[in-house]
Amino acid sequence: MKRILILAATLLVAVSCSSPKQSSKIPSEVTLSKDVLMDKIKGAWAGQIIGCTYGGPTEFEYATTINGNIPIAWEEHGIKNYYDHSPGLYDDIYMDLTFVDVFDRVGLDAPIDSFANAFAYAGYPLWHANMAARYNILHGIMPPESGYWKNNPHADDIDFQIEADYAGIMSPGMPNAASHFADGIGHIMNYGDGWYGGVYVANMYALAFVCNDVETVVTEALKSIPTQSRYYKCMADVIGWHKQYPDDWEITWVLVNKHYGFDIGCPEGTGIPLNIDAVINSAYILIGLLYGGGDFAKTIEIATRCGQDSDCNPASAGGILATILGYDALPESWKQPLYEVADSNFKYTNISFNRACDLSFKQALEVVERYGGEVGENDVKIKVQAPEAVRYEQSFEGLWPMAKIYVGDKSVQTVGQLSFEGRGVVVGQRVVRTPDFDMPGYEAQIEVYVDGKLDKTVMIAVKANYYKPDLYNNYDLSEGPHTLDFKWVNPVKGADIRISFILPYQTRPEGIDRF
């Protein structure tokens, strides 16, 4: 009975958070029972796992919306099948759990190097900004430089956005604490809009513990993002378009893509329909939350049907909404596949779903006390924070991508001299090795010459999961014609470094005010 009374009181406070009669939409203090707090933490992790699994079969299969006539199945043993056969789907989760584990072992004040090294030396596969950050760290470029856009061409990608859940889950009702715990870690792999994606997601999680109105959560959490940023403008537009077109999410989807659908950073995605940019994928999370209307199934379905990174987006939307609803309130049909793996560790970790919930609960209690709250025998009194904007950052300042120059997947030894015009360039590459290649510690040493002068020597590991996503980048050239030449200093049999394209950048043209 005590738990019921506390839950009822909590919900009264949460409902009132959207009342226009209050000076603030967010209460200044909330008391939760420990049972309710744990229920919301379990909801957060479960919603993320369920959303990721639901969207898994569609990931990057659709650059447009996934038509409603195309079925998206929810399989009885779907989660276990991914656990057993495709664990890389859960990069959202195992990256999150890396940070949860470090907080558990080292404490809330763990130095950033502890987090950086934990993920850089882990055995799991990484992509895009995470992959570039791993390379940087293993070659002495530590945070925050490892995520800075001039060292990481993927700085605006989605990576931190999909792995920032930990920061909000450990900071119930305390969005500024969530921003704090998202700062150092987020700059391991991202910068600017890429970092903002994680800050916004973490703030939505934090507020979801103390407010059950989705529109209030997404609107208040956006106060954590600087208003002059492209990221803020896009999220504010989504909120506005939802009010203008409340019954048709696809209209908002079209408007998002019209105004924000051109990726200027990610070398792989720029100029083609693939879009891994944090801005547009955050917009899809928001579309799911707003048009889902508080219904879990509808929320993750819409976030999935927006396309692009369509496992990560429903994972974030599902986790945030399930924090509001709590684990017990989730429909049984969605939770059932989770039961058979609840105590099984995610691959590459020593943490299961149940243990993740326990660790986050422990950390949440520590954060509550650190930020002025009280932890009693049965209850937790939270000093709720009003979100404050983090600092302004902008990647690719003054730059604009030109058309890619495809070179035919040629070896660095035979590609010859490449010419381009512009003030910056990224060189796309891929590593090829024969099945019997057995030099796990080998790194190809590639000298890169710009206009006939040695500019950089790049070390590229051939070991799986430790590749460098891009051979070379330079955003500080003078505007004009340039040449690139390459020399492989230590070639070996059984491995090759092949250049697929070069992506030149010019000075950003005048009149482009959205992208």
Phi-psi region of 225 (alpha: psi -120 to 50; beta: other; left: phi over 0): beta
**CA nearest to 485, candidates 413, 416, 405:** 416
Residue type, 21: K
Which residues, in sequence order, are bridge partners of residue 470? 428
DSSP secondary structure string for all residues of 331-376: -HHHHHHHHTTTTSBPTTSS-BHHHHHHHHHHHHHHHHHHTT-EE-
CA torsion through residues 264, 269, 273, 279, sign: negative
pLDDT of residue 10: 37
pLDDT of residue 367: 98
CA pair distance 283, 258, nearest whole angstrom: 12
Helix%, strand%, coil% for the chain, nearest 5: 45, 15, 40
User: What does the angle CA 331 – CA 89 – CA 61 come to, to the nearest 5 degrees?
Assistant: 90
DSSP, collapsed to helix, strand or coil, labels residue 307 as coil
CA pair distance 46, 334, nearest whole angstrom: 9
**CA nearest to 216, candidates 228, 208, 206:** 208
Contact 17, 210 (CB under 8 A): yes
| Unique residue bearing structure tokens 């930990």 | 166
CA pair distance 8, 1, nearest whole angstrom: 11
CA pair distance 132, 126, nearest whole angstrom: 9
| Unique residue bearing structure tokens 């890619």 | 404
pLDDT of residue 510: 82
Q: Which domains does the chain have, with CATH numbers?
A: 2-106+210-383 (no CATH), 399-507 (2.60.120)
Residue count of the chain, please give it: 515
**CA nearest to 124, candidates 439, 443, 347, 351:** 347
DSSP secondary structure string for all residues of 84-144: HH-GGGGHHHHHHHHHHHHHHHH-TT--HHHHHHHHHSSSS---HHHHHHHHHHHTT--TT
C-beta atoms surrounding 417 within 10 Å: 10
**CA nearest to 237, candidates 183, 270, 206, 280:** 280
Tokens of 296: 């879990």
What count of Cα atoms within 13 Å lies in the side-chain half-sphere of residue 435? 0
Contact 501, 407 (CB under 8 A): yes
| Unique residue bearing structure tokens 């079925």 | 71
pLDDT in tens, the chain (515 residues): 333 333 333 333 343 464 333 335 789 999 999 999 999 999 999 999 999 999 988 877 777 777 777 888 898 899 999 999 999 899 999 999 999 999 999 999 999 999 999 999 999 999 999 999 999 999 999 999 999 999 999 999 999 999 999 999 999 999 999 999 999 999 999 999 999 999 999 999 999 999 999 999 999 999 999 999 999 999 999 999 999 999 999 999 999 999 999 899 999 999 888 889 999 999 999 999 999 999 999 999 999 999 888 889 999 999 999 999 999 999 999 999 999 999 999 999 999 999 999 999 999 999 999 999 999 999 999 999 999 999 999 999 999 999 999 999 999 999 999 999 999 999 999 999 999 999 989 999 999 999 999 999 999 999 888 889 999 999 999 999 999 999 999 999 999 999 999 999 999 988 776 55
pLDDT of residue 69: 79
**CA nearest to 148, candidates 395, 391, 392:** 395
pLDDT of residue 376: 97
- For 441-484, the three-class secondary structure string (H helix, E strand, C coil) is CCEEEEEEEECCEEEEEEEEECCCCCCCCEEEEECCCCCEEEEE
| Unique residue bearing structure tokens 């290649």 | 437
Tokens of 363: 């950390």
pLDDT of residue 68: 78
CA distances from 72 to 258, 267, 273, 311, 323 (A): 26, 30, 22, 12, 24
